[in-house]
Amino acid sequence: MSQTRILFQELVATCVLGTRSRTFNLPQPRTTDGATINALRQLEKAAALGAETEGKKIAATQEELMLDQLALISTALRALGSQPSQAEEERLSQVNLEPCRPEHLPEAPAAALSMLNQLIDDLSPVGQIFLARWFDLCREGGYRLSRHSIPRLLEKLKDKEALREKLLTCGGEALPWLVKVNPDWHMYFAPRKAEAAELIKLFEEGSPTERLESLKLLRSLDANLARETLAASWASETVESRVTFLKALEPFLSITDEEFLSGVALKDKRKEVRELACDFLTRICGSALQKRLQDFLGEQVQLKGGKLEITLADEGNAAALDETMKDLPLSGLTNTFDSNMGAGARRLLILISRVAPSFWSSLAPPPKIVELILANDEWSDVLTRGLLESLAMFAATGEKEPEQARELRRFQEELVNHASDKLTETSAGLRFLKTLPADLAEALILSRLPRWAKPGSLGAPRLDLWNYLESTDFNWSKEFTARILDFILKESREKVPALSYTFTTNVKKFASQMHLSAAERAPDFYQVTEDSELNSYFVRPLLQIAETLNLRQDIEAAFKEKLPPH
């Protein structure tokens, strides 16, 4: 094949797949193609010098230059008039692409696409929230991305799994077409509507990322089949891949996983694998390991005479318990230990943290258990921390039976109502806080407002309010948003505002979680920053709240632009 024809194919591929994934450089000319390549070089030089023709710049952008080069090469090929050989035809068949199917959805409004260009450069946690909202609005409105924006988004979001999922919903026909033909992109996107057999094949033959994505999808499609597929390849997997693929089983954990976890994964030579298997087994309420842990705890914690009686394990039982718990992961839990906590107390805390709430319900109803724990002077701290850890773990563990969900909720309500002071004192409390349902989290946070913020009372502010807000990620309700905004605006007018460092460093996060009705109060924040008595340290955070609220409102408004009639 002539050098000119090869050059044409390479330039077409670069234009289609994007210059971020490929580079195009002119080669040294051969004798037969020298005139064409020299003409291309002159075109590049003219564009670089800003030359004009008929009052217009030659190839003002890189895109225009590449299109001009394509036009020049295609003209040269037509002039040659030669047909490719059979070998050349084969090569062309490998390079040529099937055309993308025509689009059926309208392109997103121009205002929305302009907003997207503004959002895509901010991939901070808050920026990702705004991008996710943009994608949701695009999908809900029945729109699609513009084709020229897709390559940039594919490149930018390769490592952002949650945003990748949303991007796929509004890419039209062009996005899956590009993903299919560009290896730099399709490895991040396993087929989303595949049959089980197709996913199994991809797990067996695909790249590491494709294997993980296909296993996750198979787990959501058929949890048992996903586990069996992993079990079939287990012996040939590396330690790293065993850990990675085992984590993919975490969603939809059930008693049907016990045999593989206890009989295979828990017997693995590597500690990382055993710890993960042990962690999963404790989360399965009916597993043999969970039952053994409950039996051990039943020997140490008993309800006698209306009180909780604690008896630490003796030497023999302690050794048996240590053997049972040897593979339990303690990462994060060690922050819950006190330096003066003895071995027996630590053992008890670990045990409580891994035992399901049903153990306590077998002794007494949740309100009574919480009352007894808080009333136990000697062991209240250990019992409370262990229960907080347990509730946090089981709240974050997949789907639950209705009775399990109700039981968990009752314990959460009791601790919010009667032990709220303990939640910011320990890492266990903060983990519990993160897993609370939004309504309970709001009730708890509002309880931390200063007494003067409640009807008929006065008192000093509680600055741990901001720590609570920092530790949660739920979307605020309209009423909750209004209460917090009232508090912020009131404090900003005080000589010593109760707006801590935690507040000033998290204002964009807070504003991104507020109910959208908060945008109506953005002018209030601009007005308060004009107060000459306001400490300059608080001006920027308050402006950031207003700016963030306005940006959120602009994102919503961008999709309300009406399309011209078809």
Whole-number pLDDT of residue 92: 46
28 — pLDDT class (breaks 50, 70, 90): low
For position 242, what pLDDT does the model report?
Answer: 95
User: H/E/C letters for each residue in 433-494?
Assistant: HHCCCHHHHHHHHHCCCCHHHCCCCCCCCCCHHHHHHHCCCCCCCHHHHHHHHHHHHHHHCC
Q: 7-11, 184-188, 253-257, 459-463: which has the minimum mean pLDDT?
A: 459-463
CA–CA gap between residue 426 and residue 476 (Å, rounded): 24
Average pLDDT of the segment spanning 277-294:
93
pLDDT at 514: 97
Instruction: Please give the Cα distance from 249 to 230 (Å, whole number).
Output: 9
- pLDDT, position 560: 86
Task: Please give the average per-residue pLDDT across 367-383, as a whole number.
Answer: 92
Tokens for 188, please give them: 């991040």
What pLDDT, on the 0 to 100 scale, is given for residue 22?
55
Residue 484 in this model has a pLDDT that exceeds 90:
yes
Nearest-CA neighbor of 12 among 92, 86, 87? 92
**Which among 279, 285, 284, 280 is positioned nearest to 329, based on CA atoms?**
279
CA 446 to each of CA 453, 468, 475: distance values in angstroms, whole numbers, following the listed order:
10, 10, 15
Q: Per mean pLDDT, which of 15-29, 53-67, 292-306, 410-424 is the most reliable?
A: 292-306
Q: Which of 90-104, 354-368, 475-489 has the lowest mean pLDDT?
A: 90-104
Q: How confident is the model at residue 492 (pLDDT cuts 50, 70, 90)?
A: confident
- Copy the structure tokens of residue 140: 């809900």
Q: Specify whether the CB–CB gap between 326 and 350 falls below 8 A.
A: no
Residue 302 forms beta bridges with which residues? 309
Q: Which residue has the tokens 């890492």?
A: 427
* pLDDT, averaged across the chain: 83
CA neighbor of 170 nearest in space, from 106, 110, 242:
106
- The pTM of the full predicted model, rounded to 2 decimals, is 0.74
Pull the structure tokens for residue 5.
């024809």
Mean pLDDT calculated for residue range 170-196: 74
Average pLDDT over residues 312-323: 86
What tokens does 205 get?
A: 């033959």
pLDDT of residue 456: 47
Confidence of residue 423 (pLDDT cuts 50, 70, 90): confident
Q: How far is CA 386 from the centre of its chain?
A: 28
| Cα 499 from chain centroid (whole Å) | 29
Rounded Cα distance, 65 and 351, in Å: 68
- pLDDT, one tens digit per residue, over 91-123 is 445 545 678 889 999 999 999 999 999 999 999
